[in-house]
Amino acid sequence: MVMLVYSRAAQGICENPSCATPSCEKLWGEILEMSSSNQSPELSSCKLSSCNFSGAEPPVFKLAEEARDGEARACSYFSAHGVIETPCFMPVGTQASLKGVEPSVTARSGARVILANSYHLLLRPGLEVLRNYAGVRSFMRWDGALLTDSGGFQAMSLGELVKVEDGGIKFRSHIDGSALHLTPELAMEAQIVFDSTIAMMLDECVPSSSSHARCRVAVERSLLWGSRCSAFWREKRASSGTSSGVGGAGDGAGAGTGGAGAGMESGTGTGTGFGRALFGILQGGLDLDLRREALERTLAIGFDGYAFGGLALGEEQSLRSELLAALAPLLPRDRPRYLMGVGKPRDIAEAIACGIDLFDCVLPTRSGRTGQAFCFADGYGYGAYGYASSANKNATRTRNIRNARYKFDKQPLEEDCACPSCAGGFSRAYLHHLFRSGEMLGAMLLSAHNIFFYQRFMRSARAAIMAGTYSEFLKAVRAHDDDRQSG
């Protein structure tokens, strides 16, 4: 099991454990509290005695790199709702629900952050209900961190029902046909009501295969919306009076430092949504120059983290990797990097190698509902946190549990998986039967298993980075993916 050692230095705080500088004392106290509530880190003793913390910017909402292997990095991200170890996979609960999986099960898998979609939440249950619950986390009984998208991507995928203009996105609800206008400000307001740990700016997402001219329009519009989101966020943060950080209006630090400077909420559970992080989104299709320009201009606006949008929409994996490898190193090292909507274990492994930290995808639950189970390859399972250097142990496969070969198979999906299905002793034969009989328990068990699998996969990737063997890990994932047989 990999135990992390949290040092004050890594968080940008002076290393004197008894330092009385108010900023040091307060920040370290809060970090300790977050760490202990997360129940994973062990704390180190501090060594130095001089205080060199400038007090200029709190470390919370920033990211501390703990290990690096090539561009792949293992970090701790100190979010408003707990420490998030990266690389991190965020399961998707579109409508404030991971389909068929209870939040307590999700938490047991090791997932620390989940994703929900603003478009759906805006329409149903709507802001009024969520305001009444002080946010999505409390509504759905999820204690961990929450990332919400801006709602733009789903609104724009409504086809004829949508009109995208510089002012925002006009669309009709797919539920009752009512007219809505999603502006950058509404996207921010909604995510504040949602009590999102990480909010995303409104952007215009176009498929990576779009023409250069179309991508240029999307980049300009996204920058325009990003500026408005950032301005709105800063104003709210400044006026909330709960920020102890520097993220006030007009702070505007330049490119390279990520100027938004997330403030830290002085209280917890206030439900004001402030002190939460706002991420910028980089568009630009597959055009490296356009992407680079978008990146530089987005950095100049300044966000708490940066996401690559408009990828994983059908482009070649190698092309995506080329782009990410060229662009990720241009981002500030103390800010999280998020590749939206990716994906399959192989795609995730490739992107980690390019320096990406955060991922999300509906695949674990969607596949679970159709009878596809993600597993490590036969005979190569390993413990929840363990990492063995033997390359083959990183091989993964999917099993279609409906396949007749499982009809008499008494084994669990995986021997050493702690999910409700495997640890509960349910056999492949029983799961096969559930799927063949259309019993909903089958989908629930497989979805839970897949959620657990993804967390194990990410922990393995992280452990490989920590051990300096990531290239070996990646090689194994690639090799097996190339000749993987489903069945």
Give the binding site for Zn ion (CB under 5 A). 413, 417, 419, 421-422, 449
Q: How far is CA 375 from the centre of its chain?
A: 22
- The CA-based dihedral angle spanning residues 287, 288, 289, 291, taken in that order and rounded to the nearest 10 degrees: 80
Q: Which residues contact 360 (CB under 8 A, 6 or more apart)?
A: 89, 90, 91, 92, 115, 147, 338, 340, 341, 342
Shortest gap between Cβ of 465 and Zn ion (angstroms)? 24
Q: How far is CA 389 from the centre of its chain?
A: 27
Which residue out of 149, 203, 347, 357 is catalytically annotated?
149
Whichever of 77 and 382 has its CB closer to Zn ion, that residue is 382
Of the CA atoms within 13 Å of residue 414, those in its CB half-sphere come to 29
How many Å apart are CA 372 and CA 406, to the nearest integer? 13
Whichever of 101 and 419 has its CB closer to Zn ion, that residue is 419
How many Å apart are CA 227 and CA 312, to the nearest integer? 25
378: annotated active-site residue: no
Which residue out of 287, 334, 360, 481 is catalytically annotated?
360
Shortest gap between Cβ of 377 and Zn ion (angstroms)? 15
Structure tokens at 421: 């299905």
Name which of 82, 90, 9, 87 is nearest 41 in CA terms. 82
Tokens 């001219």 belong to residue: 213
Shortest gap between Cβ of 416 and Zn ion (angstroms)? 9
Whichever of 283 and 460 has its CB closer to Zn ion, that residue is 460
The verdict on whether omega for the bond into residue 332 sits within 30 degrees of 0, i.e. cis, is no
Shortest gap between Cβ of 420 and Zn ion (angstroms)? 8
Shortest gap between Cβ of 446 and Zn ion (angstroms)? 9
CA angle 198, 137, 141 (to 5 degrees): 150
Whichever of 250 and 425 has its CB closer to Zn ion, that residue is 425
251: annotated active-site residue: no
Q: Which residues are catalytic?
A: 149, 360
